[in-house]
Amino acid sequence: MTDQTRPLSDSELPTFDRPVEIIENPYANANRSYTTQTHLFNEAIINKYNRSGPRYTSYPTALEFAPIAEGMEARVLAEKDPRVPVSLYFHIPFCRHLCYYCGCNKIITKKNSDSGDYLAYLFAEIRHKRSLMQGDPIVEQVHFGGGTPTFLTDDELVKLWNFLQTQFTFSDKPTADYSIEIDPRELRPTTLEILRGLGFNRVSFGVQDLQEKVQIAVNRVQSEEMIRGVMTEARRLGFHSINIDLIYGLPHQTVDSMRNTVERIIAISPDRLSVFNYAHLPERFKGQRQINEADLPSPADKLTMLGNTIHALTDAGYQYIGIDHFAKPDDELAIAQREGKLHRNFQGYTTHGNCDLLGFGVSSISQIGLHILQNPTDLSDYQNLINAGKLPAVKVISARLPDLLRRYVIMNLLCHDYIDFKDVNARFSIDPMTYFIDEIRKLGEMQADKLVDMDAKGIRVLPKGRLLGRNVAMVFDTYLASKEGNRFSKVI
């Protein structure tokens, strides 16, 4: 019998490939409402269940991080299976302007030299980690996040990309995903063309809102003409997926103004949208203290904004992916969801959940095999570790067999609105109806409210419950009960 109190060795890991005895992927088209999308928004139900909870970009969540033991990161890298492809994440923390709503790890600076200095630390971290890894794992995904990744000059972006080519072998498959987050205000005339020439094929533009009064209140002024211009250029250059970020609940937003913003964004026609709920936490995020709380919309108005946004996007043909993501039906995310191949990790919803995630830079997170590791969130701490010739991870989570089981259940509920008991039994050698008897009982009220349906085959999130997928997932989170206070955002 496996000791469930210790980390598993690679030989003890359950397979995450589809079992041979299951002929069809049980998660392909698991939710037939992906295209009809009826009853997504129900105000009474949302008010009843709207509580704080994790976003489940990992399980266990980041609150379970513990200090890492000396030498552990080196062992994790050395033991990484070279046959498993990799996703590379680079955190570029610098921004020239403070957006008052932002809760990201960032450094506000106008010193151009900061990026060059930072690049040297990234190179050192990349070299060190790569020197410990065996074989030649293929890079299937790259993401530059921030901060503002285009704070790097064009020459620095080229230099970083070319250096990566000397350290890793990049996939040339059409499914390879090389993406970058872009602040349209900080985009030089040549940057998009240079990025496309390097091989980037997906971009995400931070828009948040198109109303000037709102933009002034959050210190992020950018015209619709600017947004249309960068979108047009990205399409001309052949980026195959373009995302736009919006936020509802910002100061001076009204139900009508948010509806107007969404209508104008639909006319611009991005391939994907992320529609985030603004969480006002000035005690945690200093920049938010610049926002006058009296200017924020009421909770009731925020809920109406969300409902209107969902109706507008789905009426326009966008598929609701989950949590706060929408995509056109022909986008890779939407296709992966319908085919039962969607995943979720620290980069959100992804089509590359089969990859080990290697994070580089301050605050970045890696997920390699059983282990989740995080670099320091303070730039000086990160630099000091690199200067000392050390690997930079300072925190770790090492998953155990029960964690892997619950991770599998939670991620399938959030990605495919379904968990198939036969599939779980084949992968983990348990009887789900017995193992999860307490969770099934807890889901009884949600079943009565027609948020989920349960039978001997599995658990299905119904259309009425899709916006509350995090609530369903929380039932399977054994760590949640031990958390004190409000450590998470509201699910809606």
Which of 104, 83, 82, 86 minimizes the C-alpha distance to 149? 104
- Asked if residue 220 belongs to a known ligand binding site, the reply is yes
| Residue 183 in tokens | 């602040």
- Asked if residue 340 belongs to a known ligand binding site, the reply is no
- Asked if residue 104 belongs to a known ligand binding site, the reply is no
Query: Across 61-188, where does the E strand assignment appear?
Result: 66-67, 86-92, 94-95, 107-108, 138-146, 169-170, 177-182
CB proximity list for 195: less than 8 A, separation 6 or greater: 157, 180, 203
- Asked if residue 353 belongs to a known ligand binding site, the reply is no
Are the CB atoms for 273 and 208 separated by under 8 Å? no
Strand-strand pairing, 365-368 and 371-374: antiparallel
- Asked if residue 35 belongs to a known ligand binding site, the reply is no
Strand-strand pairing, 86-92 and 138-146: parallel
Which of 180, 140, 126, 201 minimizes the C-alpha distance to 356? 140
For the four alpha carbons of 343, 344, 346 and 351, in that order, the dihedral sign comes to: positive
- Asked if residue 355 belongs to a known ligand binding site, the reply is no
User: Across-strand partners of 274?
Assistant: 245, 325
- Asked if residue 466 belongs to a known ligand binding site, the reply is no
Which of 262, 229, 227 minimizes the C-alpha distance to 246? 262
Which of 247, 249, 304 minimizes the C-alpha distance to 43? 304
- Asked if residue 445 belongs to a known ligand binding site, the reply is no
CB proximity list for 82: less than 8 A, separation 6 or greater: 133, 134, 135, 136, 137
Tokens 């009508």 locate to: 256
Are the CB atoms for 477 and 487 separated by under 8 Å? no
- Asked if residue 148 belongs to a known ligand binding site, the reply is yes
- Asked if residue 101 belongs to a known ligand binding site, the reply is yes
Strand-strand pairing, 138-146 and 169-170: parallel
3-state secondary structure of 273: strand
- Asked if residue 279 belongs to a known ligand binding site, the reply is yes
Are the CB atoms for 477 and 406 separated by under 8 Å? yes
- Give the span between the Cα atoms of 259 and 316, in whole angstroms: 13
- Asked if residue 81 belongs to a known ligand binding site, the reply is no
Phi/psi for 468 (5° steps) reads -110, 30
- Asked if residue 102 belongs to a known ligand binding site, the reply is yes
- Give the span between the Cα atoms of 335 and 167, in whole angstroms: 32
End-to-end CA distance of the chain: 41
The beta-carbon contacts of 330-338 under 8 Å, at least 24 apart in sequence, are: 331/241, 331/271, 331/272, 332/175, 332/177, 332/241, 333/272, 334/34, 337/34, 337/415, 337/416, 338/28, 338/29, 338/34
Extract the annotated binding site: 89, 95, 99, 101-103, 146-148, 181, 208, 220, 245, 279, 365
Question: Which residue ranges are tagged as binding site for S-adenosyl-L-methionine?
Answer: 89, 101-103, 146-148, 181, 208, 220, 245, 279, 365
Residues marked as binding for [4Fe-4S] cluster? 95, 99, 102
